[in-house]
């Protein structure tokens, strides 16, 4: 079943690659480079009755809120949202133990298409 996916990342190529892959699989995708705008969209879509089902959030967004700062507020707005933390930093604790930090799964950069699928399936089964 197609998902409605929110992606937050400060790297435009990452947004483009993930969006292309996920749209080709029939998903509805919205991309953001601002944590504030991502949170606004999440709130708007939830209030409109068409909530996101999955969010893939970069751990850090320079000058803005990243995954750790957003997971709580996002889950307050949409408790059913499956949130995936994404990072290239292998020492980030939330990447090793995502559920401890409120995430449903993790996605390590660099990633392959199969890694995206795997993290979404893991999140859906959380």
How remote is the C-alpha of 87 from its chain's centroid?
A: 11
Residue 104: what pLDDT? 97
Q: Per DSSP, what are the bridge partners of residue 83?
A: 55
Residue 26: band (very low, low, confident or very high) from pLDDT cuts 50, 70, 90: very high
- Does the predicted model carry a pTM greater than 0.85? yes
Dihedral pair phi/psi, residue 37, rounded to 5°: -70, -35
- Topology (CATH) of 4-124: Rossmann fold (3.40.50)
3-state secondary structure of 58: strand
Contacts of 79 (CB under 8 A, 6+ apart): none
The answer to whether residue 25 scores a pLDDT higher than 70 is yes
Average pLDDT over residues 44-72: 95
Question: Long-range CB contacts (< 8 A, 24+ apart) of 18-22?
Answer: 18/56, 18/116, 21/113, 21/116, 22/116
What is the distance between the alpha carbons of residues 74 and 54, in angstroms, rounded to a whole number? Answer: 11
Q: Per DSSP, what are the bridge partners of residue 86?
A: 58, 107
What are the extents of the domains in the chain? 4-124
| Per-residue CA distances from 72 to 29, 31, 65, 76 (Å) | 21, 19, 12, 6
Tokens linked to 100: 């401890």
The answer to whether residue 91 scores a pLDDT higher than 80 is no
CA diameter of the chain: 38
């Amino acid at each position: 079943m197609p998902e409605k996916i929110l992606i937050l990342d400060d790297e435009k190529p990452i947004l483009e690659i993930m969006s292309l892959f996920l749209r080709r699989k029939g998903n509805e995708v919205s991309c953001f480079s601002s944590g504030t705008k991502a949170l606004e969209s999440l709130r708007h879509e939830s209030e409109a009755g068409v909530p996101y089902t999955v969010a893939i959030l970069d751990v850090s967004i320079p000058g803005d809120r990243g995954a750790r700062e957003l997971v709580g507020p996002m889950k307050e707005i949409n408790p059913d949202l499956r949130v995936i933390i994404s990072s290239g930093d292998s020492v980030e604790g939330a990447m090793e133990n995502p559920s401890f930090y409120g995430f449903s799964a993790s996605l390590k950069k660099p990633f392959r298409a199969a890694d995206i699928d795997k993290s979404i399936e893991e999140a859906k089964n959380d």
